[in-house]
């Protein structure tokens, strides 16, 4: 268990070092940081002054050290485009993304797990075959196309739901939530379904294949030989075994989730961090790009640490050694 | 309590069928009858494909679809299985039939405690409260002899040893007081000493609780050890059935006779095992050709030492990617010394994990020793080896199914080392050699044009031997070469290996866990335990006058037909 | 019973249809310049007179334009054929690049184990931490800041192939490594080691042929993924430029007209994209079940 943790910790540190290095290189060498800080037509002297304030006259290694220091204190530079501190910018967009991701994930788990179990238990039933085929269509359908179709049907043609934005927001301290207003909830429907569909197919297929594996194992055969009821065997014994890998995979899928959140936010003009990022790519707003990269790396590492800890708690083979 | 005369199991004309892909039907079990009385252990034996496991599965309601009971009747403790549904509607598995599976490592769910798995059957079938169930679970844990039963109830399966897990499985099988227990190879995955304990436990439980046991096994020694009656099956049909002593000492059916004769005896050395000889003119000619080619083995006398191992030690683990951390080191072999003489078959015997296979792998160059020396024909062996050294040292492995590359034709597989060591001038000549070798091991020459999947386990093992002989080795390492095979196939292969030794003047390092096989094959034997050799002696001496306590224990515990019934059975 | 078992031997109807669809699409892609009614890059071949005509099956459609025209009057059939071509080429390129990289690294990692394995797999872990789309967007953003518009244009397909493959190789590497470790434990590989065959030969002649089927299965499934990723990137504006549009770019363009009722400009290329990917996925799914049911279903 300690060994597992140290391997994971090493991996986490490696990821963070790699990410910080890339972010540093982007800040320092991509585009011209000085040009973005001074007024147009500035003299060489003015530029040099800015260069010194930014610390660009020091050796690269020194700059990296001070960059790491800045990152650790939460200073991620200033956006070229918005002329605001990037940290403030990211934080103001965080609630939108989190609300979307959480609703979508809950939706995907709530539908995906039962469907996966059902398809594993009755692999030849009509319903299972239908679901299986539907998931194939699901993984063949890019997220943005799903989004576009939903907009076309429910926003353009039926005019039931809004196609973009978050609707009316309610401030709870620094957190702006869309959960507390009707238009906010209505705005959430299409984007969260779009994002959930992508996860749902993955979860469903994973649960199904794990469940099929578990059902053919000796200990499930032994459970049948003891005459335990089907509901008990499937619902309590097999499902727990089958859900173990789902936990790990969910952790590893975080990156994918972030990526598809970017796509979803762009399609629905959802004012979250992903939209900020796509806009930054087009501008190009390098500090925002670098900061987003750092943020994603950090999130990925943190969530996988949590998943690992969780895993050792639910798997007795790791817990009691 | 129970009626002693009423059978707990009565099978009449049972027929189990599997529809095949091509529209035909495979009859896995054909019209068999079988009766078990309370307290009786009835062994069902046969080689792979005989249908013995299918019978067990039919009783437990575990037939894999599309397999089904096609005809006949099964009565368990007075209740009959409903044949219309092919299911055990009237009989509840777990309550009326207890089950013991082969591999205790996989039959318990790793995510639940031993206690909860033990109790769940009682909660379902006996409608006990969880307090009552727990009390009974504790009682059962004591009955099957698990130390610290109270604490063990809260343990997870991985915290128990293999033997303890199998005891838990037995306790689970007994939980609801079934009158019949189906035990499918219950000790095959266990070591001799644990096997002896588990067999005794099953015998005692049958006697004390008047439970009938259907013991599915392939091991005649186990049958002799605990079974009251035995039924021998072949291809889904019962060929002989009766009291264990009668069937094992005086088998009547021809198949039963060959089968029992093929079991290597532990109390005597036979020149050859009594199975039909397969020597034809073709094999003899091919062997003559092989002998001509391996001319160099004629040099030297029988007393020369071919391989000399001194203070060999092997450690596993210890290397870690993380700087400054060292994972625990496992000492697999701790200071082993022995010599193998020219033309000798030297045996290494021991239970699983004793380090015998590691010794073989180290000599073969698959593992590097951490200390000690291996001297092979005057050359010290380490990680780097000359081509000529590698050539004279070949190996035959345990698992025939993984020994051959599935994507390579047999000819190519045998010719590869021949070409690599430049023992043939061109590919044609190498293929010619490959055909000769195939004939020498008793396969048709045209077998070489096919792929591995076309052959049975025994045939694959012959091919693996042919491949090992190709480079004309002087030492052949055999790591459990027959333990994955049926007993009659084993007998043929053991005879073959003896023939080849004489033919090519080979020396052999023969590794096995089976004392009877060792006795048949080896000139001298070393007994290993926990990485060390505890006794080394001439085979005859070791078996008749063992010195070390551990050797005596192994000999005492090994299930054996002769020990129970004496040597009254003639080689049929 | 018998018919059911018989059906299991033949590929299901869906797989046959998918193969046919894929075959037709490949033919269309290869012979696009000959088949397409017009060359969308040739300004002279289309006119603004024909702009925004709906598909031929609609009331105000025009039989000359089967799937309608876009805002510049270009025939959508032609535009889509050329777009399909770009999508398929980039998808195949990414798969081949990723497979070669992944198979070699996976084989080496699995075969030698120890430190080599550790280093390769930790690098793989880092790569896989970042989703393809994010990496590709970043690369695109950096390229935009560093390169001129013309250079960007010329390099766009290669940048795309690189950005997709740099992430996807990990999947091959992991699978190949796992399979290699399984094969290595098999006795035929141990026999080859005892013979003393060189490592390269053991890997190439003995191990590789035995793991090729899983590589092929992943490659098929990955082809679908690569095409989707390319489309997504182009849709987000970080992929193929409008001058050389892939299917994703076409949908991006069409997206602007969604609210003006000109739905076909986006929906037609989207339909073709989904059919293409679905066909590949159906075949990939079948191959996985058929060759390697235990292969990771992720």
pLDDT of residue B276: 77
Residues of chain A in contact with residue C138, where contact means CB-CB under 8 angstroms, are: 281, 289, 293
- Give which of A7, A23, A36, A135 is closest to A68, Cα–Cα: A23
pLDDT band at C296 (very low <50, low <70, confident <90, very high): very low
Over 50: is that where the pLDDT of B196 sits?
yes
Q: Which of B385, B393, B407 sits opposite C210 (nearest CB)?
A: B407
Distance between CA atoms of residues A259 and A263, nearest Å:
7
Q: How far is Cα of residue B236 from the mean position of the Cα atoms in its chain?
A: 22
Distance between CA atoms of residues A275 and B329, nearest Å:
53
Residues of chain B in contact with residue C197, where contact means CB-CB under 8 angstroms, are: 416, 420
Q: Which of B364, B405, B467 sits opposite C206 (nearest CB)?
A: B405
Residues of chain A in contact with residue C281, where contact means CB-CB under 8 angstroms, are: 136, 139-140
Residues 205-244 of B with CB under 8 A from C: none
pLDDT of residue B34: 92
Over 50: is that where the pLDDT of C298 sits?
no
- Taking CB atoms and an 8 Å limit, are A145 and C251 in contact across chains? yes
Is B66 in CB contact (< 8 Å) with chain C?
yes
Sequence-ordered list of residues with C-beta below 8 angstroms from that of A130, at least 6 positions apart, any chain: none
Distance between CA atoms of residues A272 and A251, nearest Å:
21
Distance between CA atoms of residues C220 and C211, nearest Å:
15
Sequence-ordered list of residues with C-beta below 8 angstroms from that of C9, at least 6 positions apart, any chain: B21
- B455-479: pLDDT as tens digits: 988 999 999 999 999 988 999 999 9
What is residue A285's three-state secondary structure?
Answer: coil
Cβ atoms < 10 Å from Cβ of B150: 12
Q: Which position has the higher pLDDT, A317 or B136?
A: B136
Over 90: is that where the pLDDT of B233 sits?
yes
Q: Which position has the higher pLDDT, C99 or B91?
A: C99
Using omega within 30 degrees of 0 as the cis cutoff, is the peptide bond preceding B456 cis?
no
Retrieve residue B470's tokens.
């190709």
Sequence-ordered list of residues with C-beta below 8 angstroms from that of B288, at least 6 positions apart, any chain: none
pLDDT of residue B436: 92
What percentage of chain A exceeds 70 in pLDDT? Answer: 94
pLDDT band at C292 (very low <50, low <70, confident <90, very high): low
Its sign, for the CA torsion A41, A46, A50, A51, is positive
pLDDT of residue A83: 83
pLDDT of residue B430: 92
* DSSP type of residue B228: S
What is residue B452's three-state secondary structure?
Answer: helix
Residues of chain C in contact with residue B394, where contact means CB-CB under 8 angstroms, are: 194-195
- Give which of C156, C155, C105 is closest to C128, Cα–Cα: C105
Rounded to an integer, the average pLDDT of A78-95 is 86
Residues of chain A in contact with residue B92, where contact means CB-CB under 8 angstroms, are: 227
The count of CB pairs under 8 A between chains A and C is: 135
Rounded to an integer, the average pLDDT of A261-279 is 90
Contact C269, C251 (CB under 8 A): yes
- Taking CB atoms and an 8 Å limit, are C258 and A152 in contact across chains? yes
**What are φ and ψ of residue B525, in 5° steps?**
-135, 145
Residues of chain A in contact with residue C14, where contact means CB-CB under 8 angstroms, are: 133
Per mean pLDDT, which of A46-60, A271-285, B346-360, C127-141 is the most reliable? Answer: B346-360
* Angle, CA C251 vertex, CA A97 and CA A200 arms, to 5°: 45
**What are φ and ψ of residue C43, in 5° steps?**
-60, -30
Contact C131, A255 (CB under 8 A): yes
Over 60: is that where the pLDDT of B553 sits?
yes
Contact A295, A20 (CB under 8 A): no
Residues of chain C in contact with residue B466, where contact means CB-CB under 8 angstroms, are: none
Does this model's pTM top 0.90? My answer is no
Sequence-ordered list of residues with C-beta below 8 angstroms from that of A62, at least 6 positions apart, any chain: A55
Rounded to an integer, the average pLDDT of A103-119 is 91
Average pLDDT, chain C: 82
Q: Which of C122, C132, C238 sits opposite A11 (nearest CB)?
A: C122
- B304-334: pLDDT as tens digits: 889 999 999 998 865 544 444 445 678 889 9
Distance between CA atoms of residues B57 and B358, nearest Å:
37
Pairing verdict, β B475-479 and B507-512: parallel
- B411-464: pLDDT as tens digits: 999 999 999 998 888 899 999 999 999 999 989 988 889 998 889 889 999 999
Residues of chain C in contact with residue A15, where contact means CB-CB under 8 angstroms, are: 125-126, 129
pLDDT band at C159 (very low <50, low <70, confident <90, very high): confident
Rounded to an integer, the average pLDDT of C120-143 is 81
Cβ atoms < 10 Å from Cβ of B350: 26
pLDDT band at C202 (very low <50, low <70, confident <90, very high): very high
Helix axes A86-121 and A182-215, enclosed angle (nearest 10): 50
Residue in A222, A239, A242, A315 to test binding to B, most B beta-carbons within 10 Å: A222
Chain C: closest CA distance from residue A176 (Å): 26
pLDDT band at B1 (very low <50, low <70, confident <90, very high): very low
* DSSP type of residue B451: B
- Taking CB atoms and an 8 Å limit, are C187 and B402 in contact across chains? yes
Q: CA C259, C262, C265, C267: dihedral to nearest 10 degrees?
A: 70
Instruction: Please report where in the chains the tokens 């696009």 appear, as a residue.
Output: C32
Q: Which element (helix H / strand E) includes B512?
A: strand B507-512
Contact B521, B544 (CB under 8 A): no
pLDDT of residue C1: 35
* DSSP type of residue B296: G
Q: Which position has the higher pLDDT, B323 or A266?
A: A266
**What are φ and ψ of residue B552, in 5° steps?**
-60, -40
pLDDT of residue C118: 84
pLDDT band at C4 (very low <50, low <70, confident <90, very high): very low
Q: Which residues pair with B32 in a beta bridge?
A: B14
* Angle, CA B412 vertex, CA B407 and CA B417 arms, to 5°: 115
What is residue B435's three-state secondary structure?
Answer: helix
Contact A197, A138 (CB under 8 A): yes
Contact A250, A307 (CB under 8 A): yes
Residue in B62, B67, B109 to test binding to A, most A beta-carbons within 10 Å: B109
Q: Which element (helix H / strand E) includes B550?
A: helix B549-557
Per mean pLDDT, which of A181-185, A258-262, B37-41 is the most reliable? Answer: B37-41
Q: Which long-range contacts (CB under 8 A, 24 or more apart) does A85-91 make?
A: A86/A287, A86/A288, A86/A291, A87/A291, A89/A276, A89/A288, A90/A273, A90/A276, A90/A288, A90/A291, A90/A292, A90/A295, A91/A174
* DSSP type of residue A152: I
Chain B: closest CA distance from residue A245 (Å): 13
Over 70: is that where the pLDDT of B145 sits?
yes
| Start-end of H helices in chain A | 2-29, 33-37, 44-53, 60-72, 86-121, 126-140, 143-150, 182-215, 218-225, 230-232, 239-252, 254-267, 273-282, 286-314, 316-319
pLDDT of residue C107: 94
Sequence-ordered list of residues with C-beta below 8 angstroms from that of A295, at least 6 positions apart, any chain: A90, A273
Q: Which element (helix H / strand E) includes A154?
A: none
Half-sphere exposure of C40 (CA within 13 A, CB side): 25
pLDDT band at B62 (very low <50, low <70, confident <90, very high): confident
Retrieve residue B262's tokens.
């093929």
Rg (CA), chain B: 26
Burial category of B169 from C-beta neighbours within 10 Å (exposed 0-12, middle 13-18, buried 19 and up): buried
pLDDT of residue B394: 92
Over 70: is that where the pLDDT of C278 sits?
yes
pLDDT of residue B203: 94
Chain A: closest CA distance from residue B169 (Å): 9
Rounded to an integer, the average pLDDT of B33-52 is 91
Distance between CA atoms of residues A63 and A69, nearest Å:
10
- Taking CB atoms and an 8 Å limit, are A221 and B158 in contact across chains? no
- Give which of A284, A318, A303 is closest to A79, Cα–Cα: A284
Q: Which of C186, C190, C197 sits opposite B366 (nearest CB)?
A: C190
Contact A314, A39 (CB under 8 A): no
Q: How far is Cα of residue B294 from the mean position of the Cα atoms in its chain?
A: 33
pLDDT of residue B322: 45
Sequence-ordered list of residues with C-beta below 8 angstroms from that of B185, at least 6 positions apart, any chain: B102, B216, B217, B218
Determine which of B322-331, B333-342, C64-73 has the lowest per-residue pLDDT on average. B322-331
* DSSP type of residue A155: I
Over 90: is that where the pLDDT of C41 sits?
no
pLDDT of residue B307: 93
The count of CB pairs under 8 A between chains B and C is: 76
pLDDT band at B303 (very low <50, low <70, confident <90, very high): low
- Taking CB atoms and an 8 Å limit, are C131 and A278 in contact across chains? no
- B529-540: pLDDT as tens digits: 999 999 999 999
- Give which of B551, B533, B534 is closest to B333, Cα–Cα: B533
pLDDT band at C213 (very low <50, low <70, confident <90, very high): confident
Q: Which residues pair with B97 in a beta bridge?
A: B93, B180
Q: Which of B98, B124, B155 sits opposite A228 (nearest CB)?
A: B124
pLDDT of residue B300: 55
Residues of chain B in contact with residue C123, where contact means CB-CB under 8 angstroms, are: none
pLDDT band at B293 (very low <50, low <70, confident <90, very high): confident
pLDDT band at A225 (very low <50, low <70, confident <90, very high): confident
Distance between CA atoms of residues C86 and C255, nearest Å:
19
pLDDT of residue B302: 60
- Give which of A204, A224, A209, A254 is closest to A102, Cα–Cα: A254
Per mean pLDDT, which of B64-78, B84-98, B319-333, B336-350 is the most reliable? Answer: B336-350
């Amino acid at each position: 268990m300690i060994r597992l943790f140290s391997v994971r910790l090493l991996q986490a540190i490696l990821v963070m070092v790699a990410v910080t290095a890339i972010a540093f290189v982007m800040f320092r060498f991509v585009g011209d940081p000085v040009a973005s800080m001074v007024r147009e037509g500035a003299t060489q002297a003015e530029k040099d002054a800015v260069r010194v304030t930014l610390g660009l006259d020091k050796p690269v290694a020194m700059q990296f050290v001070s960059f790491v220091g800045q990152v650790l204190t939460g200073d991620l530079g200033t956006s070229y485009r918005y002329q605001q501190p990037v940290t403030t910018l990211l934080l103001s967009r965080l609630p939108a993304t989190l609300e979307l991701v959480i609703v979508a994930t809950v939706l995907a788990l709530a539908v995906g797990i039962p469907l996966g179990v059902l398809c594993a238990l009755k692999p030849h039933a009509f319903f299972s075959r239908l679901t299986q085929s539907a998931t194939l269509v699901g993984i063949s359908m890019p997220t943005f196309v799903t989004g576009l179709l939903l907009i076309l049907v429910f926003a353009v043609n039926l005019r039931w739901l809004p196609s973009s934005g978050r609707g009316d927001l309610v401030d709870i301290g620094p957190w702006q939530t869309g959960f507390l207003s009707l238009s906010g909830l209505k705005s959430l429907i299409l984007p969260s379904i779009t994002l959930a569909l992508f996860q749902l197919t993955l979860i469903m297929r994973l649960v199904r294949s794990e469940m099929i594996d578990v059902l053919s194992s000796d200990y499930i055969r032994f459970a049948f030989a003891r005459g335990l009821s089907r509901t008990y065997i499937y619902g309590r014994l097999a499902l727990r075994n089958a859900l173990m890998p789902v936990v790990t995979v969910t952790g590893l899928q975080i990156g994918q989730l972030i990526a598809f959140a970017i796509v979803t936010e762009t399609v629905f003009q959802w004012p979250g961090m992903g939209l900020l990022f796509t806009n930054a790519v087009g501008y190009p707003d390098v500090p925002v790009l670098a900061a987003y990269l750092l943020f994603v790396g950090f999130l990925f590492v943190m969530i996988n640490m949590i998943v690992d800890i969780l895993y050792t708690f639910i798997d007795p083979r790791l817990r009691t050694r | 309590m129970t009626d002693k005369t009423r059978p707990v199991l009565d099978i009449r004309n049972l027929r189990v069928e599997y529809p095949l892909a091509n529209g035909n039907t495979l009859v896995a079990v054909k019209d068999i009858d079988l009766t078990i009385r309370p307290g009786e252990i009835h062994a069902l034996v046969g080689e792979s494909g005989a249908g013995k496991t299918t019978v067990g599965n039919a009783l437990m309601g575990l037939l894999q679809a599309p397999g089904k009971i096609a005809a006949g009747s099964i009565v368990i403790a007075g209740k009959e299985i409903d044949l219309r549904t092919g299911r055990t509607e009237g009989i509840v598995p777990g309550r009326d039939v207890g089950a013991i599976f082969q591999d205790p490592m996989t039959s318990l769910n790793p995510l639940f405690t031993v206690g909860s798995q033990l109790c769940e059957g009682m909660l379902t079938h006996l409608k006990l409260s969880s307090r009552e169930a727990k009390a009974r679970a504790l009682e059962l844990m004591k009955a099957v002899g698990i130390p610290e039963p109270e604490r063990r109830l809260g343990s997870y399966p991985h915290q128990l040893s293999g033997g303890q897990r199998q005891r838990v499985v037995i306790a689970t099988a007994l939980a609801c007081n079934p009158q019949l227990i189906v035990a499918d190879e219950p000790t095959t995955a266990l070591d001799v000493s644990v096997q002896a304990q588990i067999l005794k436990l099953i015998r005692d439980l049958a006697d004390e609780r008047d439970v009938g046991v259907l013991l599915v096994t392939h091991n005649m020694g186990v049958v002799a050890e605990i079974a009251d009656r035995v039924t021998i099956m072949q291809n889904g049909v019962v060929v002989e059935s009766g009291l264990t002593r009668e069937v094992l000492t005086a088998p009547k059916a021809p198949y039963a006779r060959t089968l029992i004769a093929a079991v290597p005896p532990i109390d005597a050395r036979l020149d050859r095992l009594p199975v039909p000889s397969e020597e034809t003119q073709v094999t003899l000619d091919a062997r003559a050709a092989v002998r001509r080619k391996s001319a160099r083995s004629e040099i030297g006398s029988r007393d020369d030492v071919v391989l000399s191992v001194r203070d060999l030690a092997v450690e596993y683990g210890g290397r870690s990617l993380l700087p400054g951390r060292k994972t625990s080191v496992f000492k697999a072999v701790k200071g082993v010394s022995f010599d193998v003489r020219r033309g000798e078959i030297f045996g290494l015997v021991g239970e699983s994990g004793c380090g015998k296979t590691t010794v073989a792998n180290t000599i073969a160059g698959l593992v590097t020793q951490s200390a000690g020396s291996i001297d092979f024909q005057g050359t010290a062996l380490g990680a780097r080896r000359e081509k000529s050294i590698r050539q004279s040292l070949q190996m035959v492995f345990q698992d025939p199914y993984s020994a051959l590359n599935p994507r390579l034709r047999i000819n190519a597989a045998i010719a590869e080392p021949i070409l690599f060591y430049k023992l043939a001038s061109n590919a044609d000549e190498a293929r010619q050699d490959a055909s000769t070798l195939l004939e020498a091991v008793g396969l048709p020459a045209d077998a070489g044009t096919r792929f591995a999947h076309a052959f049975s386990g025994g045939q694959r093992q012959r091919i693996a031997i042919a491949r090992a002989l190709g480079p004309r080795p002087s030492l052949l390492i055999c790591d459990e070469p027959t333990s994955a095979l049926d007993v009659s196939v084993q007998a043929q292969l053991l005879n073959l290996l003896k023939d080849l030794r004489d033919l090519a003047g080979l020396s052999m390092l023969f590794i096995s866990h089976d004392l009877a096989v060792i006795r048949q094959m080896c000139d001298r034997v070393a007994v290993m335990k926990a990485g060390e050799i505890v006794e080394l002696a001439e085979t005859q001496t070791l078996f008749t006058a063992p010195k070390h306590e551990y050797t005596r224990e192994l000999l005492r515990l090994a299930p054996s037909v002769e020990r129970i019934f004496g040597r009254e059975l003639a080689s049929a | 019973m018998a018919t059911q078992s018989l059906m299991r031997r033949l590929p299901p109807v869906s797989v046959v249809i998918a193969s046919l669809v894929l075959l037709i699409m490949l033919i269309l892609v290869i012979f696009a310049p000959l088949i397409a009614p017009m060359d969308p890059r040739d300004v002279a071949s289309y006119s603004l007179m024909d702009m925004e005509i709906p598909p031929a099956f609609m009331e105000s459609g025009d039989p000359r334009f089967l799937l309608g025209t876009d805002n510049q009057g270009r025939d959508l059939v032609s535009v889509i054929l050329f777009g399909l071509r770009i999508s398929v080429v980039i998808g195949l390129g990414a798969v081949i690049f990723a497979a070669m990289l992944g198979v070699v690294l996976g084989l080496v990692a699995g075969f030698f184990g120890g430190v080599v394995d550790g280093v390769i797999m930790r690098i793989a872990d880092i790569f896989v931490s970042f989703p393809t789309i994010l990496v590709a967007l970043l690369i695109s953003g950096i390229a935009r800041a560093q390169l001129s518009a013309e250079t960007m244009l010329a390099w766009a397909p290669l940048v795309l192939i690189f950005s997709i493959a740099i992430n996807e190789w990990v999947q091959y590497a992991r699978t190949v490594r796992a399979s290699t470790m399984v094969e290595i434990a098999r006795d035929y590989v141990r026999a080859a080691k005892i013979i003393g065959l060189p490592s390269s030969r053991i890997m190439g002649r003995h191990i590789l042929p035995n793991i090729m089927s899983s590589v092929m299965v992943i490659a098929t499934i990955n082809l679908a993924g690569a095409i989707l990723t390319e489309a997504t990137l182009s849709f987000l504006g970080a992929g193929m430029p409008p001058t050389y549009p892939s299917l994703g770019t076409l949908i991006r363009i069409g997206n602007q007209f969604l609210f003006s009722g000109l739905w076909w400009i986006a929906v037609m290329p989207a339909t073709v994209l989904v059919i293409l990917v679905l066909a590949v996925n159906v075949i990939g799914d079948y191959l996985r079940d058929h060759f390697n049911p235990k292969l990771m279903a992720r």
